[in-house]
A = this chain, B = another copy of it.
Amino acid sequence: MLIRAFVPAHITAFFVPVVSDDPVKSGSLGAGVNLDRGTTVFAGIETGTLRRHVHVAFNGEPAGRSEAVISYSVVERIVPKSFVGEIEVWQYFDFPSGYGFGNSAGGALGTALALGYEFGGTLLELGRIAHTEEVRNGGGLGDVIAQIAGGVEIRVRAGGPGIGVVDNILTDDLMVVAVYLAPLKTRSVLDSDVVRVIDREGREALKKLMLSPKVETMMKLARNFAERTGLMDDELRELARSIESVTSFKASMIMLGRGVFSFVRKKEIEKLRETLSDLDVPYAISNVYWGKPIVGTWNV
């Protein structure tokens, strides 16, 4: 039996980490956007073997337990202890890992949904498992809950699925441009002194966004956050300005990767493509993904 799950890529615009002893109460406040590309997980479940085997692969390449701690942990929490057979989890990512597209959470949530589809569990229960393993193992704090919500999202109360609250900005006809230059180690940023500034600036941005919950406001606040926290460097700033020269919104830094994102109207896309081609940078233009993650049996 083959089950497929799709989880959108999630870009964080600004955030406030909220860490509690209980991983389900840990999470983040902030805002971001889900894309119609992201993580696709295929789960193959075969009984009839004599032993229990679990295999995880990233983009077709087998991943050992040390490389895929979160995914293996999710599998072990969902597949009953008594199950004997073969579990294969194939995770495919539309964006590179470590660049701030929520691949880790996408893999965790996609795996949880695909296996939960067979072994049981509700959307929030499975989401909490993915969230908990993300938090425990140093993945994202807010990606899972944001991906479950979909859309242009505002995390108004921190916590895992069922505890945190995610709101949505209404929008259509806007696409998202993401330029991704290099990965960034989240941990190296969040362990440093910048955390206090992030907390203050993130809360301030959230308060202002709720007073004017629009994409335009979100991007202004995101840019402001990126600047004030000192996370945005000259190269990213220049890239942001190039994008802004042909679009209607502020561009800001992808939290957290060395990249820039913004929103773009359909009529601006051609000009934007020209600009980005001239700069010779890797980029993608995607639709906003408004719905919830999808899971179902996969008929080849």
Chain A residues in the interface with B (C-beta under 8 A): 113, 116-117, 120-126, 150-151, 154, 156, 162, 165, 167-170, 172-173, 212-214, 290-292, 294-297
Contacts and interface: CB of A to CB of B under 8 A. Distances in A.
B213 A151 contact: no
A162 B150 CA distance: 15
Nearest to A299: B173
Given A122-B169, A125-B167, A165-B162, A151 B116 contact: no
B162 A123 contact: no
A292 B113 CA distance: 18
B122 A297 contact: no
Given A150-B291, A150-B292, A292-B292, 17 more contacts: A113-B170, A120-B212, A120-B213, A120-B214, A121-B213, A122-B167, A122-B168, A122-B169, A123-B169, A124-B167, A124-B168, A151-B292, A156-B162, A162-B165, A172-B296, A290-B294, A291-B291
- How many copies altogether? 2
B213 A170 contact: no
Contacts of A291: 150, 290-292
A170 B292 contact: no
18 contacts: A116-B170, A120-B212, A120-B213, A121-B213, A122-B168, A122-B169, A123-B169, A123-B170, A124-B165, A151-B292, A162-B165, A162-B167, A172-B295, A172-B297, A173-B296, A290-B291, A290-B294, A291-B292
Contact of A122 (B113, B117, B154, B173): B154
Contacts of A295: 170, 172
Nearest to A148: B168
